[in-house]
Structure 1
Amino acid sequence: MDPSDPSSFHHRKEHLSTGRTYHFVDQKPAGYNASTLTILCVHGFPDIWYGWRYQIGPWVRKGYRVLAPDMLGYGGTDKPAAPEEYSTKRLSDDLAALLDVAGVRQVILIGHDWGSYTVGRFALWHPDRLLALVTLSVPYVPPAKQYIPLVDLVRQFPNFGYQLYLSDDTHTREIEENLVLFLRLMYGLTKPSKPMVLPGNLREIITKRESGKPANQPILTEEELGYIHSQMMSIKGPLSYYRTLQFRYEEEKAANLPDSLRADLPVLLIWGLKDATASPAALKRAKQCVPRLTTVPLERVGHWVMLEAKEKVTDTVLLWLEELALAPRAGTKL
């Protein structure tokens, strides 16, 4: 498992009971058996399984099995056209089906960015499948009590303005035509001339093809960015996640999902203090809805915590699991 060589990981492709085909990395430790604990890693936007490249090896060497899929719409996984296919209920059902294919009953579930939001919903849709939950960068968000259109949300929270651009299907081709620049912006390799989170700014930056300023300390090499780009030639699937707001609300309302996570579920939140995603308000709301929440803020770290602070994230998760008696030597039966 060489983080610089994607082919050095063990890749699988399986047709799931949900009807979708998923590509995923399935890395087993030496001495793997039916008692081996499994970590399932769920990436965010715009990322692929490769976002976990620095964590997979160390976790496997500690005795865990690690599953890291390309989520729906990404890489080698199916890419349905309809945005409703990307609701978090359907994604959660896919992850449960992937665990079934892998022969895993209960799992340690870890997510980043959109993956954090998704694993939080998995914990509501499939609460019996979790041993522990880790969210990176994005705190747990409870289901909405009422539907609020995105445009109204942006009026309340202007920092969500970029989502208006991403959620509009008429902009898909525009983003694809400037995909390298878009990825450089998303990964912080290019510093824009204006805050790209505010309404209208991201589109202006993209359409004017701003070269921007290079990052002082880039978190990706050009080779890593090239690999991600090669796996994401179409951005329609990834953008569909931003087009599911009403579908998600209707599914969650129909199921009457609870606000809080399972009372006995241990949850770890790791976030960077330079990342506005984990705002004080979001953290306060998460603490109200997560009975067993442990929080670990990281100084001088931004949004891409598993890249910017790879050793810290890797080790923090391992130590936390050990404290929960979920280290491999505990021999937990799955």
Structure 2
Amino acid sequence: MEPENYKTLQVSRGFTYRYFSVPAKGSGNKTILFLHGFPNADTDWRHQVSFFKGRGYGLIVPNLLGYGGSSKPTDPAEYRQSLMSKDLVEILDKEGVEKVVAIGHDWGAYVAGRFALFQPHRTEAVGFITVGHVPPSLSPKFELEPSFEITKKRFGYEVLGYWEFFASLDAPKVSMDNFETFFNILWPDDPKTWISDMAPLGALRKALEGKKVLPAPRWMSEEDKRLISEPILKNGLEASMCYYKLHVQGFGAEDDQLLAGKAEIPQPVFFLDATDDFIAGEEYFMTALGHTESPVKKYCKNATVKQVKVDHWVMLHIPDKLNDMLLEWMETF
């Protein structure tokens, strides 16, 4: 991702976003808004950027709030999606782009879905990678405890147990003080590590504080390791963990009340469900959030759904296959 294609913009609420941008070539080509997740950065999408740039697509790839060269507030309320979606609209306005195909991974998928709901007139289509459509909460309060009980009974472990750790005051320091263990758990050599050392209640803290030795991901290139590690080591995790605190402290559910129960996304939707993702895979994650059926099937009537036996880090494991699937989907509308 060429340095000359990076820009910065101070949005109206005072925060600065750093983002990669190239214009679409030709009047008929779409612009894609790629949205990364935790705890990475815009470079997660570099394989998609080179692929779609070469085909004339426009691209806007921000470091989301809390990451990279963008502002890093530590108040979770600043990460409300009603506010962040407006930030993204200001970037689109600066780039002269009316509508985008918003594609997100991990927390970026949540951002993409909320962008579609808060800014439907700026959304041409939505792509969800690993994390599917999360409908707005009908409750003004978010509670983790019920999800622990439900998923422990169904899967044998608390799927969102690690949220309690990430939302704690000392989680950024504990994680950074034990970075090698943190890295090898989040990007595991064996995806089932998430069942033993990531998801269950208390497991991640225990592994980190005990400096548990785990194998490094043999599937990952040294370049990938560098691109992932460097921004985290430079910026820490205090800001990026606010995406978890947003929900645990109730700001996400409060923000959802602005949507008045609006959950449908009528635009074309793409969803890649990673079946070896034992946290964010749709069955696990949506059960943890209290859904008894697929929200994509229920609320996205124009959806293309793919299931792939891969873990959470789809863009690293199967970049070419993902590119082909996204291109095939985008050529349908």
**TM class by smaller structure:** 0.7 to 0.9
How far off its partner does 1:33 sit?
A: 5.6
How far off its partner does 1:144 sit?
A: 1.4
Query: Using the alignment, how far apart are the partners of 2:197 and 2:297 within structure 1?
Result: 29
| Residue matched to 2:108 | 115
| Residue matched to 2:281 | 278
| Residue matched to 1:27 | 22
Query: Using the alignment, how far apart are the partners of 1:187 and 1:211 within structure 2?
Result: 14
Which residue of 300, 316, 319 maps to 2:325? 316
Query: Using the alignment, how far apart are the partners of 1:306 and 1:52 within structure 2?
Result: 7
Query: Using the alignment, how far apart are the partners of 1:161 and 1:128 within structure 2?
Result: 36
How far off its partner does 1:189 sit?
A: 4.4
8 A contact 1:180–1:229 mirrored in 2: no
Query: Using the alignment, how far apart are the partners of 1:311 and 1:228 within structure 2?
Result: 19
SS at match of 2:316: helix
Task: Supply the AA of the counterpart residue of 1:311.
Answer: D
8 A contact 2:127–2:271 mirrored in 1: yes
How far off its partner does 1:190 sit?
A: 7.5
Greater CA drift, 133-142 or 273-282? 273-282
8 A contact 1:87–1:244 mirrored in 2: yes
Which residue of 59, 69, 72 maps to 2:65? 72
Gaps of 5+ in 1: 2-6, 325-334
Task: Supply the AA of the counterpart residue of 1:279.
Answer: E
Q: Deviations over 1:84-103 (max 9, x none)?
A: 11122222222111111111
Query: Using the alignment, how far apart are the partners of 1:148 and 1:291 within structure 2?
Result: 27
Q: Deviations over 1:133-179 (max 9, x none)?
A: 11100110111112232233323331110111111123221112223
Q: How does 1:99-178 map to 2 (within 5 A)?
A: 99-146=92-139, 147-157=141-151, 158-178=158-178
How far off its partner does 1:116 sit?
A: 0.6
Task: Supply the AA of the counterpart residue of 1:231.
Answer: P
Greater CA drift, 97-106 or 10-19? 10-19
Task: Supply the AA of the counterpart residue of 1:149.
Answer: E
Instruction: Say whether residues 1:63 and 2:56 are aligned partners.
Output: yes
Greater CA drift, 61-70 or 166-175? 166-175
8 A contact 1:138–1:278 mirrored in 2: yes
Q: Deviations over 1:274-298 (max 9, x none)?
A: 1232233736232111111110111
Greater CA drift, 222-231 or 238-247? 222-231
SS at match of 2:324: helix
8 A contact 2:148–2:160 mirrored in 1: yes
Q: 1:36 to 1:244 in 2, by over 3 A?
A: same
How far off its partner does 1:82 sit?
A: 0.8
8 A contact 1:117–1:138 mirrored in 2: yes
Task: Supply the AA of the counterpart residue of 1:150.
Answer: L
8 A contact 1:41–1:69 mirrored in 2: yes
Q: Deviations over 1:94-114 (max 9, x none)?
A: 211111111111011100011
| Residue matched to 2:199 | 197
Greater CA drift, 179-188 or 231-240? 179-188
| Residue matched to 1:307 | 316
Instruction: Say whether residues 1:237 and 2:232 are aligned partners.
Output: no
SS at match of 1:124: helix
Greater CA drift, 122-131 or 163-172? 163-172
Q: Deviations over 1:306-332 (max 9, x none)?
A: 1111001111111111122xxxxxxxx
Q: CA RMSD for the aligned pairs? A: 2.1
Query: Using the alignment, how far apart are the partners of 1:254 and 1:22 within structure 2?
Result: 25
How far off its partner does 1:247 sit?
A: 0.6
Q: Deviations over 1:215-256 (max 9, x none)?
A: 3x42x3233322322212310111110001111111211441
8 A contact 1:271–1:305 mirrored in 2: no
How far off its partner does 1:259 sit?
A: 2.1
Which residue of 7, 22, 31 maps to 1:12? 7
How far off its partner does 1:257 sit?
A: 4.0
| Residue matched to 1:88 | 81
Greater CA drift, 198-207 or 285-294? 285-294
Which residue of 263, 269, 272 maps to 1:259? 263
8 A contact 2:137–2:261 mirrored in 1: no
Gaps of 5+ in 2: 152-157, 287-292
Q: How many residues align?
A: 312
Instruction: Say whether residues 1:289 and 2:289 are aligned partners.
Output: no
Task: Supply the AA of the counterpart residue of 1:11.
Answer: Y
Task: Supply the AA of the counterpart residue of 1:252.
Answer: D
Query: Using the alignment, how far apart are the partners of 2:101 and 2:259 within structure 1?
Result: 24
8 A contact 2:161–2:202 mirrored in 1: yes
| Residue matched to 1:328 | none
Scaled by the length of structure 2, the TM-score of the pair is 0.87
Task: Supply the AA of the counterpart residue of 2:17.
Answer: Y
8 A contact 1:137–1:278 mirrored in 2: yes
